[in-house]
């Protein structure tokens, strides 16, 4: 009897591991043909590369996911909104960012945020942080990751490609941060104080749908 129970338990464990390991990210709600028609062949290849990268990273640690996603999107050239969209300020969706293959700091942050969220990194650990770049004397945005609410956050940036703790980024002066749900006053190593909900950014940034599917 014990042998049968052990065999059954082992079988369930194997099935669970198999199902988990065969889950893959796929495109949902958008066709590659549409991407290619609107943005060209390179954009189609970048979308496929994004999904492939996510499948390689899906079972890795948060830190490894941060590295892979940061490297992937930092390969996109920087261009101002004026150059790309003809306006002073435009927050592109992830698909628009990939499609144009260019964008400014907000576009990098939005793309990284939603990709990491889909990879299972808790949104409660990630904040889009406005800052002043002392090096370039301009307003800037980075993605910050808090391992715990009291941790010094890690900074994912398109200026400095290396992920560093915020206290090592003396070239940045934080102004305020917000998650997908709430907006916060930023402090160098703290989450800060919540601001009114009216200040939330309401644009549908996650236009490019990528979901996990069990084989």
How is residue 1 written in tokens?
């009897």
Domain assignment present for 124: yes
Bigger pLDDT: 21 vs 150: 150
Which stretch of 38-47, 162-171, 181-190 has the lowest confidence by average pLDDT? 181-190
Bigger pLDDT: 204 vs 69: 69
As a whole number, the mean pLDDT across the chain is 81
Neighbours of 89 (CB within 10 A): 10
Helix (H, G, I), strand (E, B) or coil at 213: strand
- Residue 172: which CATH number? 3.10.620.30
CA distance 133 to 141: 9
Bigger pLDDT: 138 vs 207: 138
| Domain carrying residue 163 | 62-207
Domain assignment present for 146: yes
What is the reported pLDDT for 64? 98
What is the reported pLDDT for 186? 41
Domain assignment present for 6: no
CA distance 29 to 208: 8
Domain assignment present for 128: yes
What is the reported pLDDT for 142? 96
Helix pair angle (41-57, 105-118), 10° resolution? 50
Domain assignment present for 3: no
Residue 42 has pLDDT above 70, yes or no: yes
What strands, in cross-sheet order, belong to the sheet with 138-145? 164-165, 154-156, 138-145, 126-133, 172-178, 183-185
- Nearest Cα neighbor of 163 from 177, 143, 178 is 143
Residue 188 has pLDDT above 90, yes or no: no
Neighbours of 29 (CB within 10 A): 9
| Tens-place pLDDT, residues 75-107 | 999 999 999 999 998 888 899 999 999 999 999
Domain total of the chain = 1
- How many residues would you count in the chain? 215
Residue 208 pLDDT level (bands cut at 50, 70, 90): low
CA distance 119 to 195: 28
Residue 214 has pLDDT above 60, yes or no: yes
What is the reported pLDDT for 68? 98
Domain assignment present for 36: no
Helix pair angle (62-74, 41-57), 10° resolution? 170
Domain assignment present for 194: yes
Domain assignment present for 186: yes
Residue 213 has pLDDT above 90, yes or no: no
């Amino acid at each position: 009897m014990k042998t049968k129970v052990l065999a059954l338990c082992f079988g369930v464990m194997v099935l669970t591991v198999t199902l988990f390991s065969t889950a893959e990210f796929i495109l949902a709600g958008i066709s590659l043909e549409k991407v290619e028609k609107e943005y060209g062949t390179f954009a189609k290849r970048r979308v496929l590369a994004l999904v492939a990268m996510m499948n390689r990273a899906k079972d890795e640690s948060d830190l490894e996911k941060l590295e892979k996603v940061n490297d992937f999107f930092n390969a996109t050239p920087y261009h101002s909104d004026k150059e790309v969209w003809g306006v002073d300020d435009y927050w592109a969706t992830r698909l628009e960012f990939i499609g144009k293959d260019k964008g400014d700091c907000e576009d990098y942050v939005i793309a990284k945020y939603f990709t990491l969220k889909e990879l299972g990194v808790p949104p409660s650990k990630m904040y889009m942080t406005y800052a002043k770049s002392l090096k370039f004397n301009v307003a800037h945005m980075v993605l910050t990751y808090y391992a715990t609410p009291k941790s010094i956050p890690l900074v994912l940036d398109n200026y400095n490609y290396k992920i560093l703790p915020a206290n090592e980024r003396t070239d940045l002066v934080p102004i305020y941060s917000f998650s997908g749900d709430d907006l916060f006053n930023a402090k160098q190593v703290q989450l800060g104080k919540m601001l009114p909900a009216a200040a939330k950014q309401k644009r549908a940034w996650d236009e490019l749908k990528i979901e996990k599917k069990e084989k």
